[in-house]
Amino acid sequence: MVNKNVTFQDWGLIDYKEAWDKQEKIFAETIKLKTEIRNLHTENLGKYEITPNYLIFCEHPHVYTLGKSGKAEHLLLDKNELIEKQATYYPINRGGDITYHGPGQIVCYPILDLDNFFTDIHLYLRTLEEAVILTLAHYGLIAGRYPGYTGVWFDADNENARKICAMGVRCSRWVTMHGLALNINSDLSYFKNIVPCGIDDKDVTSLKRELNNEVNINEVKEILKHHISVLFGMEIL
């Protein structure tokens, strides 16, 4: 039995470590439940709930996170400079290199049991990218993918290439955590302190910069949530 019901939560502005710990708790509980269900005899399955799914949005205070495949030297600040920037730094257990999170950026954490949807991590990433591409299209912007990299870009095929959405996920037993970060009204100067996603020759942008005006971030959240739900066939709770 599959479960396409997804509990939506907006955690607002939340400390990165607090959000990470909350994710880890849900992630671990979901994997534990999956293990228990699979260890049961078929006739006893009805005694257990099906695995849950969550779609979480939030914003973080200024923070840099380094994925498992990243290089510490891609953070261009020392400890004192981090303090001056009022930023924190965490090496974490997602894929990808270093990235920045901060106010004005939508961070999306889907904690999904992909057995409820499709068991293909590449399709999972491409589907999240497509949701962002469709969200940007709502604002009259044509975005796309950069061959060989995850995330969403503008003008990926020429020298004006610039990234608006970074992605990095973790998946165990087809349960996901971490996700994507979409720059809306972000302070882009913070990206100058890293080699974003290990790419040192491409620009980073935001929806505000592309439209040349401040954007209602809550409106973008609703549009993004809609496209994610439709593309995955979710029933948002």
Please, which residues have CB within 8 angstroms of residue 22's CB and are 6 or more apart in sequence?
Answer: 11
Summarised one tens digit per residue, pLDDT across range 205-220 is 999 999 999 999 999 9
Of the two residues 15 and 197, the one the predictor is more confident about is 15
pLDDT at 120 over 90: yes
Q: Are strands 105-111 and 152-154 parallel, antiparallel or unpaired?
A: unpaired
Q: Which sign, positive or negative, has the C-alpha torsion 115, 120, 122, 128?
A: negative
Asked if 132 and 145 touch (Cβ cutoff 8 Å), the reply is: no
What's the pLDDT at 60?
98
CA–CA separation, 97 and 74 (whole Å): 8
CB-based burial of residue 152 (10 Å sphere; 0-12 exposed, 13-18 middle, 19+ buried)? buried
Choose among 73, 51, 59, 53: nearest CA to 12. 59
What's the pLDDT at 201?
67
pLDDT at 140 over 80: yes
CA–CA separation, 208 and 120 (whole Å): 33
> Which residues participate in catalysis according to the annotation?
197
CA–CA separation, 171 and 60 (whole Å): 22
Choose among 126, 129, 74, 63: nearest CA to 97. 74
- Give exposure, 190-207, as e/b (b: 16+ Cβ within 10 Å): bbebbbbbbbeebbbbbb
Summarised one tens digit per residue, pLDDT across range 37-76 is 877 755 555 545 689 999 999 999 999 999 998 999 999 9
User: How many domains does the chain contain in total?
Assistant: 1
pLDDT at 197 over 80: no
Helices (H), the chain: 16-39, 79-84, 121-137, 207-211, 217-232
What CATH code is carried by the domain that includes residue 91?
3.30.930.10
Mean pLDDT for the chain overall? 93
Helices (H), 40-181: 79-84, 121-137
Choose among 92, 58, 50, 52: nearest CA to 75. 92
Domain that holds residue 66: 5-236
> How many residues can be counted in the chain?
237
